[in-house]
Structure 1
Amino acid sequence: MPQFIDDDTFGTYFEEFAHVAWRLETRRGYASDREGERYQLFLTGELPLDTERPWCANVRAQTAAGKRFERVRIIDSPPTEEQRFLFESAASNNAAGEDIRNMWRDEADRLGLPAEDFWLFDSRYALRMHFDGKDGYLGAELVDEPAEVLRYCQIRDAAWHFAVPREEFRAQILAE
């Protein structure tokens, strides 16, 4: 059984990193998104920008200090409803300063990217995200063993190299 970090300290990782917080998202959906108000707005076709929520406020503060937030999302073809929601809601994150890019699942499979979600901080430690069979968040496991962190760095480098910025990816979705 993984050793999860204390949920109360989870947010501090996104304030105390020195240079780059990087995320790989591989799931087809997240229970927390489906349960949220913004997802319900998305289903009605009315998803406004929301750059004032705490996540975006922190991204703005950290990027103003010269730090970077980067993320690669793996997307199915065709995208699941939840992936379409994440893609559309990324506009708020991007406006706040987070660089979210996308990659088709076939490309991720061709590259041998693992089906695991994690945050990598400064190429020094990671938080491996754990979920149940219904996409419910179980907790985050701190990973600081050098060989495992190096593996995450290699995954990041491969994913980031082939990931596509949001607007370019939008054109690919519309072309399908």
Structure 2
Amino acid sequence: MPKYIDDATFGDYFRDFQYTAWRLETRRGYASDLASERYARFRNGESLGIESSTWTDNIRAQTGQGKRIERVRLVDSPPTQGQRFLLASAANNIAAGEDIRNLWRAEAEKVGLPAEDFWLFDSRRALLLHFDEADEYLGSELIEDPVRIARYCRVRDAAWHHAIRREQFVEQVRSHA
């Protein structure tokens, strides 16, 4: 059974890293998104626009210090509704300074990427995010074991090499429709 961090400290990891915070997102959707006001607007066909939030304010603050916040999202063909929402809402995080790229799930499987959601901080510690079958967040497990961290670094490098920027990916999604 994994030992989860105290969720009250989750945000500290995104303020305390020195150089890079990198994420792999592998789920087809997230229950927390379904409950959000932005998701309701997306479902109604409304523009999501660029909005300020605690998350985007922190992205601006961290990237303003020269730090990088990056992620790769795996996407099915065709994308699920949750993945379409993430594609649409990514513009908000990108405007704040986060670099979000996408990779078709089939390509990710070809290069052997795991079906794990995690954040990697400064190539020295990670938070492995756990979810249940209904895509509800269960908690984050702190990983500091050097062998596991080296594996996450290899996953990051492979994912980043094959992923493409959001704008390009959106065009690919449109051409597959």
TM-score range, shorter chain: over 0.9
* Structure 2 length-normalised TM: 0.98
User: Is contact 1:31–1:137 with CA below 8 Å preserved after alignment?
Assistant: yes
Q: Supply the RMSD in Å over aligned alpha carbons.
A: 0.6
- Counterpart of 1:79 in structure 2: which amino acid? P
What is the aligned partner in structure 1 of residue 127 from structure 2?
A: 127
CA positional deviation for 1:128:
0.1
CA positional deviation for 1:159:
0.1
- Counterpart of 1:140 in structure 2: which amino acid? S
User: Is contact 1:47–1:89 with CA below 8 Å preserved after alignment?
Assistant: no
Q: Within 5 Å, which residues of 2 pair with 1:80-159?
A: 80-159=80-159
CA positional deviation for 1:123:
0.2
Helix, strand or coil at the partner of 2:49: coil
What is the aligned partner in structure 1 of residue 40 from structure 2?
A: 40
CA positional deviation for 1:80:
0.1
Helix, strand or coil at the partner of 1:29: coil
User: Is contact 1:51–1:93 with CA below 8 Å preserved after alignment?
Assistant: no
What is the aligned partner in structure 1 of residue 63 from structure 2?
A: 63
Moved more, 3-12 or 50-59: 50-59
Structure 1 unaligned regions, length at least 5: none
User: Is contact 1:51–1:95 with CA below 8 Å preserved after alignment?
Assistant: no
CA positional deviation for 1:48:
2.3
Structure 2 unaligned regions, length at least 5: none
User: Is contact 2:49–2:92 with CA below 8 Å preserved after alignment?
Assistant: yes
Helix, strand or coil at the partner of 1:120: strand
- Counterpart of 2:21 in structure 1: which amino acid? A
Moved more, 42-51 or 61-70: 42-51
Q: Within 5 Å, which residues of 2 pair with 1:10-49?
A: 10-49=10-49
What is the aligned partner in structure 1 of residue 77 from structure 2?
A: 77
Helix, strand or coil at the partner of 2:138: strand
- Identical aligned residues as a percent: 61
* Structure 1 length-normalised TM: 0.99
- Counterpart of 1:68 in structure 2: which amino acid? R
Cα deviation 1:28-49 (Å, max 9, x = unaligned): 0000001111100000111322
User: Is contact 2:4–2:142 with CA below 8 Å preserved after alignment?
Assistant: yes
- Counterpart of 2:96 in structure 1: which amino acid? A
